[in-house]
Amino acid sequence: MFFFGLFLITSGDSCGIRHITIINDLKIYEKSLDPEFCEELVEKIDSFNMQCLPYVEILDCG
């Protein structure tokens, strides 16, 4: 069990870790409303949605 947890922690490509990162980035974006950050976040979400579940709604940066 320890090795599985260690793998999960060190695997930066894990869908679960990527999902948590996106949720955190969404909170940061809500505070900053930075258009450049929004564009980067849209790319990250799009990549996530192609490879993982649950589906994350794409932001409207306009």
Question: Could you report the average pLDDT of every consecutive run of 10 residues in the chain (62 residues)?
Answer: 44 82 98 98 97 95 89
d(CA 20, CA 10): 14
Give pTM, 2 decimals.
Answer: 0.76
CA distances from 38 to 3, 6, 18, 46, 57 (A): 36, 31, 16, 12, 13
What confidence score (pLDDT) does residue 46 get? 98
